[in-house]
Structure 1
């Protein structure tokens, strides 16, 4: 039986947490699991972290608070002590049993990337296989891209019911490609710029997305139906439609909500659920960001204008 990857509950045990930390998982690269886990302990009990069974995978860790004088272990030995700073990214090779002494409060995001995900990225980019990532012990990276992706995914970790699967797939796919290029030396072979989807592909993709306004469909499933890789589909969809799939889906939810508000006298809570939002609060945030007014204000103005013109 395959052991689960270094995320969620297993990562919580490694860091000696008493509760399972929140995690988001995607299988956007041919069924390979990618995940992000948020770990925090404001009152840790002093001791050495746990140990992972050797695995051909990597953890990319974004530190969310300072951790001074951190005692780092690698391959069963104490290697060094180093100050860890908030906002810094570290990479860990899980074949080498990375560990550290837990003796201060910590707060981090950990992105789990198995070797098979890097191989899939290389294959999709028509590039040579990545040998290793830059996992030098104690070396921190000032990585703005990972900070941005981390901030976006933290919203999903706080409100998992509002994070549609397309969004998680999109962000984790982008992170894996960035890690492969920045820390693995991925150099895609130059090839002619690809255009968008064929008209029939756009029609089918949009129909599939509209059939599931709740966003449970994965990028992998839609791309597979068009016989495309996930990365090619995401890029080509954006070229053809002007938005990545997850953002296009949000606009379709708003469009459906507008139709419901103009033709039926329904409570906003029911409209939110009918249009694929997690709840009324989620509906209000997304609608306001796209339309520039709250659903209630938009409905008052729209219905008022229609009555005045009657």
Structure 2
């Protein structure tokens, strides 16, 4: 069995934290990607533990200032820098990255195996992505990673409400960005700018419609059409106007509207039937997409009680 990567509790142990919520995707053929949130407001001063050596990187978005951070690589002190909230730092797991934990910290860590960059760059004219360019202890002002990190942090806090397509989509976008920003990968000129063939659109949409809970993965959808994940995601958006996870949310709302024509059906049951995790999740998504709560929409559209409870 393949050894688990450096994320979740495995990463948490190295950073001396008990809770390390994680979201995982297998949307690329040869790579398992993950994002882990680590936080400790009252650490016991110590050097972080050695993490398993892997041909992989950790890309970290810092969510809290950390003055005078002492960074170590391969058993040697290599830098002492002030870390600012919002900055991005890179760590090569082959170099045994460690740092002195002597102050409260809060970070997101994206686990990216090197094989993931090979999958992203799998194009006839694309150069191989080798080492990522970084210096120990030197941060980057990366607005894209801040945006993706903030979006995925919401998913980490509500894992039951986070569909796999959303995690796949965001981690794929982050991997492509890291490969381009720090690995020298140039965006390929797309010879085929079109979307999916009509039969492919129908098959993909039928597949998504058959499981509104969103458990199907991007990799599975792409494989059923004989496409790479990145090609499928791009072509699906061109054809439908939405990425797969947003299209699925739209279908959930449409299904919920149909179910709400049955006056005696409680919103809690409608939420589950339409693929939402619970009524709270349903209410939040519906309100964002429609502009009013489900109960208000049912009252205005069909009359009768709104069943807001």
Give the structure-2-normalised TM-score.
Answer: 0.96
Deviation sequence 1:64-118 (CA, Å, 0-9, x none): 0000000110111011210000000000111111100000000000000001101
Q: CA 1:125/1:183 → structure 2, altered by over 3 Å: closer, same or farther?
A: farther
> How big is each residue's C-alpha offset from its partner over 1:269-294, in whole Å with a ceiling of 9 and x where there is no partner?
00000000000000001000111100
CA-atom RMSD in angstroms: 1.3
Matches of 2:301 and 2:188, distance apart in 1? 52
1:46 aligns with 2:51: no
Secondary structure class of the residue paired with 1:27: strand
What does 1:169-208 correspond to in 2, within 5 Å?
169-208=168-207
Q: Residue in 2 aligned with 1:12?
A: 12
**1:274-293 aligned within 5 A:** 274-293=273-292
**2:238 aligned with 1:233:** no
Matched, 1:140 2:154: no
Aligned equivalents of 2:30, 2:74: Cα separation in 1: 30
Unaligned runs of 5+ in 1: 306-310
Q: 1:126 to 1:270 in 2, by over 3 A?
A: farther
Which consecutive segments of 4 or more residues in structure 1 shift more than 3 A? none
Which 5+ residue runs of structure 2 have no aligned equivalent?
305-309
Count of residue pairs brought into register by the alignment: 304
Distance 1:111 1:271 in 2: 35
Question: Which whole-Å CA distance do the structure 2 matches of 1:264 and 1:27 have between them?
Answer: 41
Question: Residues 244-255 of structure 1 correspond to what in structure 2 (within 5 A)?
Answer: 244-255=243-254
Give the SS at the match of 2:121.
helix
Distance 2:172 2:188 in 1: 19
Measure the CA separation in 2 of the matches of 1:196 and 1:63: 37
Q: In 1, are the aligned partners of 2:8 and 2:22 still within 8 Å (CA)?
A: yes
Q: CA deviation at 1:31?
A: 4.8
Is 2:30–2:115's contact at 8 Å kept on the other side of the alignment? no
Change (3 A) 1:161 1:115: same
Alignment of 1:1-310 (within 5 A): 1-17=1-17, 19-124=18-123, 126-304=125-303
Moved more, 233-242 or 182-191: 182-191
Indicate if the aligned counterparts of 1:73 and 1:79 stay in contact, CA closer than 8 A: yes
Counterparts of 1:204 and 1:94, CA distance in 2: 40
